[in-house]
A and B are shown apart, each in its own frame.
Chain A
Amino acid sequence: MPSSLAPVRRVLDHGVIVLAAASPATPAVAINATVQAGGVFDPPGLPGVAHLVARVLDRGTATRPAERIAEDLDDRGVTLSISVNRHVLTLACTCLSEDFEAVLAIVGDVLEHPVFPGEQVALRRAELVTAIRQDEDSPAAMAGEGLLRLLYPGHPYAVRPRGTVESVSRTSNEDLRAFHRARFAPSALSLAVVGDVEPSWAVEQVERILGRWSAPAPSPPDLPPVARPSARQRLVLPMMDKAQADVAYGFTTITRSDPEYYAYWLMNHVLGQYALGGRLGDSIRERQGMAYYVFSALDANVVPGPLVVRAGVSPGNVDRAIASIDEEVAAMAREGPTAQELEASKRYLVGSLPRALETNPGIASFLQMVELFDLGLDYDRRLPDLLERVTREEAHAAARRVLDPGRAAVVVAGPYGDRLG
């Protein structure tokens, strides 16, 4: 068995959580700063603010103009990527060990003192508008967004995550500053440092750089409850000039902290993950040759996230592909996974842990997930048992609870007429 991660976790006086682990395999360090500042915190009626904040956050601070940050990162070969999902905003980069202090100082400064300069906001807003327009030309993006609209009416999940051209155009510099004031604070930040660096020294460096940051604790998110759809819903987004149609098909599920999570995880793995897309891959790709990609993904999260089946198929095969998804979904709900399938997925998931924890960025993401969902510092050691304990009955019960073609939301985007059904 692999040796355990044994990370250091330190909560600084003002609430910043520091997660550090030593991994001297390469002379490099991964930094991952995760702030509870995702898209669900966009002001009502102004979707896309978190995404625009992410694009401008590192484009100028009180003491470092954009040019200087650009130079300090580029001169060290560092790509600082800032990503946003529904719940968190993440700054991530890898640097050479020799550059760790300098790069951490930039990350800290960017978190605490961004100024959102006017000309940078204008430039990055135009980039975001272009990205939104590209999404509008992508059947895969449109199908995914359409599905969440059907599954989460009245919930922030229903809103296009990057906003719209209209909402982004209307977003002011002051909206970005207000978002930063409201959501960025020591108590909303966890910072992981993994690599060729001594953990206790890394913690000291974080304390030195961010120790004087003072900001009130952000309010917890106020999210409406998620309802299970009561009937099947269908949506067709015709994009007649495209070569291939994208199908998104799904349900709402459970939260990550639900004790049934591991049963759901394994059930979904059998359905649409194992090897080349699980049972769905066997049917739609291997046996019927209809799709290059087909899989299902479970996003149990802070809220009951979706289980989404995705496939890309030629227009003539859309109906057959949806019928096949219906069949596999119904069969899984009726009978659950076989004992053999469940065992195979358990062995795979337990055995894949050393790969997930091989690289510095991989370990850093894992530690952030453990922190976000309060899984405990020994989670890497407990996980095998959590998976092993799931019975076939529990996995079957999970399938019965969510998988029902009669309540599925189905979206087709692409060169497909609107005669679905």
Chain B
Amino acid sequence: MPSRSGLEPASNASTLPVVEHTLDNGLKVLIREVHTAPLASVWCWYRVGSKDEGPGLTGVSHWCEHMNFRGTTRIPREAVKGIIEQFGGFWNGYTWIDQTAYVETASADALDRMLFIEAERMAHCLYHPDDCEAERTVIISELQGGENDPDELLDHELTAAALRAHPYRHPTIGWLPDLQSMTRDDLYGYYRRFYVPNNATLVVVGDVDARDALALIRRHFDPIPRSDLPRRAITREPDHVGERRVTIARPGTTGYVKLAFPAPAFTELDFYPLLVLDAVLTGAKGLSLWASFRTPAPQRRARLYRALVDGGLAASVQGALLPTEHPFLYSISLTASDGIELARLENAALEALARVRREGVTDAELVRAKKQLFARLVFENDSVTNVAHQLGYFETLASWRALESMRPSIEAVTAADVGRVAGEYLADTRRSIGWFAPTTVPATEEGGEAPE
């Protein structure tokens, strides 16, 4: 057991009151007491995502996530539902390029049950062949539902073009042929390789006593043995030598243009200057994948909004620089206004980017971008679920202590830094450009409308 003093979070104002502990089996534990509501949130994070998938196995991380809700040796499939619901809680999971995460948030007296579920999930999932088949079709339905949206289809195609070698290039949901051919043993083998305590972070935030919570965590997780992790050989993306293009010409009503540029990893020095640049161009999104979906960016003064949306060329503009372990992409997504030529929209966007490369940003833009980012850091921590998400997300990528340095890192960015990263990262030779060019207006006339 850790000493009493080892359980006292640092109280210095510049540090977060987080209790950090590593179990003997390598499981990293982060606990933060928050007593504003009678709730607790548990997140269990694994350092495995779609970048870890080899040939033939694209989509396996996400499929495993689905399987890990389908029963364990001590939680029969029929009993999965109800454990958290009886405490008024919700549960969910997500998979992305670097991580797979599971969450329960419920009344704080459900803590023991939430930890039980996560311990079971780590060590004892069943992967019954019938369940694997049922999830195969559920996931194919998820893929096809997503591709009903032309913007999502374009995103998959452009990402695969912008990245040639790094496994970030394939969509997290996987390529359809792999989803059709993967076997139960592929899934189970992958689960056993990566779902081990020394590849995981367990986060508890809420109305709990840190000492009691750690004792409970040890009771549930200490029996799970550590296991050697496979070596992960990943090709670094080679430098771009020229522009790349993708055009999808399909029936549709609306055109989309997407630009993508190789971006720095979260831990690289250029990450924050590029984050500020994105705020200047498209408005600040903040740094929470879980929370930033919910509130659109403040962007009416943002450069691309003014040039393209106020300019009448686009109905929407969205930028995305997401914190990732390896260098990924900075993307700008545009929805063409009805009747606007995609070439005209693209040219206007590229002209705005050329200007920021040439001239950099103004002091007023810098001040506004920082204020927006600071406000987002406040807004995105408004619930125990969101606070716990951020701790686990950054511990999985780098270290949870990155949360403590976000504000000073943003503060330290200068206009010169932003101008420099604009020149470097938005260079013509590094860009990839995607179009969804609708070919015809699909028929939406009504088929059979008749009482039976």
Interface of A with B (CB < 8 Å)? 2, 23, 25-28, 69-71, 73-79, 81, 94-96, 122-123, 126-127, 129-131, 133-134, 136-140, 142, 146, 165, 231-244, 246, 274-276, 285-293, 312-314, 344, 347-355, 357-361, 414, 417-421
Question: Which residue in B38, B138, B296 is a CB contact (below 8 Å) of A79?
Answer: B296
Report if B144 contacts A (CB, 8 A): yes
Question: Which residue in B140, B316, B378 is a CB contact (below 8 Å) of A28?
Answer: B378
Report if B298 contacts A (CB, 8 A): yes
CB distance from B287 to the nearest CB of A (A): 13
Question: Which residue in B107, B384, B442, B449 is a CB contact (below 8 Å) of A241?
Answer: B442
Question: Please, which residue of chain B has its CB at the minimum distance from the CB of A165?
Answer: B338
CB distance from B247 to the nearest CB of A (A): 16
Stretch touching chain A among B14-22, B129-137, B223-231, B414-422: B129-137
A77 touching B284, Cβ below 8 Å: yes
Question: Please, which residue of chain A has its CB at the minimum distance from the CB of B141?
Answer: A292
A94 touching B446, Cβ below 8 Å: no
B254 touching A142, Cβ below 8 Å: no
Stretch touching chain A among B177-185, B187-195, B322-330, B368-376: B368-376
CB distance from A165 to the nearest CB of B (A): 8
CB distance from A316 to the nearest CB of B (A): 10
Q: Contacts A78-B375, A126-B312, A344-B85; is A358 near B384 (CB within 8 Å)?
A: yes
Question: Please, which residue of chain B has its CB at the minimum distance from the CB of A30?
Answer: B382
Contacts of A243 in B (CB 8 A): 143-145, 147-148
30 contacts between A and B (CB under 8 A): A2-B38, A26-B379, A73-B298, A77-B375, A96-B375, A126-B337, A127-B315, A130-B254, A138-B148, A139-B148, A165-B338, A234-B450, A235-B449, A236-B447, A238-B443, A240-B442, A244-B147, A289-B136, A291-B138, A291-B141, A292-B139, A292-B142, A293-B145, A312-B148, A348-B85, A348-B88, A355-B39, A355-B90, A358-B39, A359-B383
Contacts of A236 in B (CB 8 A): 446-448
Question: Please, which residue of chain B has its CB at the minimum distance from the CB of A315?
Answer: B144
B298 touching A79, Cβ below 8 Å: yes
Question: Which residue in A71, A289, A357 is a CB contact (below 8 Å) of B134?
Answer: A289
A275 touching B315, Cβ below 8 Å: no
Q: Contacts A134-B335, A232-B451; is A25 near B36 (CB within 8 Å)?
A: yes
Contacts of A134 in B (CB 8 A): 253-254, 335
Contacts of A353 in B (CB 8 A): 88
Contacts of B302 in A (CB 8 A): 74
Q: Contacts A25-B36, A241-B251; is A77 near B298 (CB within 8 Å)?
A: yes
B89 touching A79, Cβ below 8 Å: no
Contacts of B371 in A (CB 8 A): 75-77
**Extra contacts besides A79-B297, A122-B312 (6): CB < 8 Å:** A133-B338, A244-B144, A289-B138, A358-B36, A359-B383, A418-B447
B142 touching A234, Cβ below 8 Å: no
B38 touching A354, Cβ below 8 Å: yes
Contacts of A348 in B (CB 8 A): 85-86, 88
